[in-house]
Amino acid sequence: MGGVKRLFGFALRVIMYLWRKPRYRRYSFSAYIHRVNFITPRYVECGRQVYVGFNARIQGVSKYNNAYFFPSIILEDGVSIQQNVHLTCANRIVIGKNTAIAANVTITDIHHSYEDISIPIEQQDIKVGFVEIGEDCKIYNNVVILPNVRIGKHVTVGANSVVNSNLPDYCVAVGIPACIIKRYDSITKAWRKTNPQGEFID
Ligand SMILES: CC(C)(COP(=O)(O)OP(=O)(O)OC[C@H]1O[C@@H](n2cnc3c(N)ncnc32)[C@H](O)[C@@H]1OP(=O)(O)O)[C@@H](O)C(=O)NCCC(=O)NCCS
C-alpha cells in the first residue's frame, strides 16, 4: 500500500514538473509549490529543493499604466517560503540559497506614487527598486521587506519587523524600522549585542 502511495506521489510530481517546466523561467524537479493564490511563472526561477507553501502570491509585474517592466524573481536552491507570502516584483527580487521565509511575509520592489492628489494612488505610476536577500537567512512571520534593500548572509529578521534599509552579513535585526540588535563577532566567535548602527555595546 505504501509503495503504491509512493509511486502515485512520484507520478504526480513528474506530471507537475512536466506541466510547470515550460511555464516557469526555470523550474527544478525537486521544487515543490503548493496551491498558490496567484503566480506569474514566466518571471520566476525556482532552484533545487525550493518549497513554496499554500496561498502564496508571487507576482511579476510586466506592465503598469503605460510603463513596461522586466521582472525577475529568483528563488535560489533550498529556499523555503511558508504560507501566504506576498511577493510583488517589477524589477528584481533574489532570495539566496537556503533562506527560509516564514508565514505572511511581504517582499516587494514596488512603491505606488502618491504625489498627484487628483489621481487615486492605486492608479498612479509605480516606482521600482530591487530586493536582495542573502543566503542562509531566516525571515520570521509577518515581516515586510521594502524596495531597495539588501540583506546580507545569515541574517535573522525578527517577527513583525519592517526592513527599509540594508542589513549586513551575520546579524539579527528587529522592529519597525528593523534595526540591528546583535552581530556575530568573528574575533571572539560569539554573537554580541549592538546599537542600531551595528557597533558592539556589551
Ligand atoms: C529575532 C529573534 C529570533 C531574536 O531572538 P534573540 O536573539 O534570542 O533575541 P532576544 O530575545 O535576546 O531579544 C533581544 C532584544 O530584541 C527584542 N526583540 C526580540 N525580538 C523582537 C521582535 N520580533 N520585535 C521587536 N523586538 C524584538 C527583545 O525584546 C530584546 O530587547 P531588549 O534587549 O531591549 O530587552 C526572536 O525574538 C523572534 O522574533 N523570533 C520569532 C519567532 C517566530 O516567529 N517563530 C515562528 C516559527 S516559524
pLDDT band at 23 (very low <50, low <70, confident <90, very high): very high
| Contact residues of ligand 1, CB 6 A cut-off | 102, 140-141, 156, 158-161, 172, 174-175, 181-182
Give the DSSP per-residue string, 80-99: EE-TT-EEEESSEEEE-TT-
**Architecture of the structural domain at 23-193:** 3 Solenoid (2.160)
Quick one: cell of 44?
520566476
**What confidence tens digit (pLDDT) does each residue in 174-195 have?**
999 999 999 999 999 999 999 9
CA of 159 to the centre of ligand 1 (A): 7
CA–CA distance, 161 with 139 (Å, rounded to integer): 9
Measured in angstroms, how far is the CA atom of residue 151 from the centroid of ligand 1?
Answer: 18
Cell output for 196: 542600531
pLDDT digits (tens, 9 = 90+) for 98-130: 999 999 999 999 999 999 999 999 999 999 999
Over residues 26-49, mean pLDDT:
96
Domain boundaries, the chain: 23-193
* Site to substitute for ligand 1 among 140, 162, 170, most atoms within 8 A of C-beta: 140
Per-residue pLDDT tens digits for 128-149: 999 999 999 999 999 999 999 9
